[in-house]
Amino acid sequence: MLNQSELSSISKGESIDHFLLVKKCETRLTKNGKEFISLELGDKSISCIKSLG
């Protein structure tokens, strides 16, 4: 099993190299009609939302 720190213990701006659970994945549209992907990533301690596109 991997021994990685929980996301809740990482500081803003700190680089990470973790395996994360994809809790939610949606294709969305910007106001201009361009598609992007919205991901909710997390571990057992916390989750965060990230947009790709």
**How sure is the predictor about 49, in pLDDT bands with cuts at 50, 70 and 90?**
very high
3-state secondary structure of 24: strand
Two tokens at 47?
Answer: 């989750």
Residue 1 has pLDDT above 80, yes or no: no
Would the pTM of this model clear 0.85, i.e. be above it? no
> Would strands 21-29 and 35-42 be described as parallel, antiparallel, or unpaired?
antiparallel
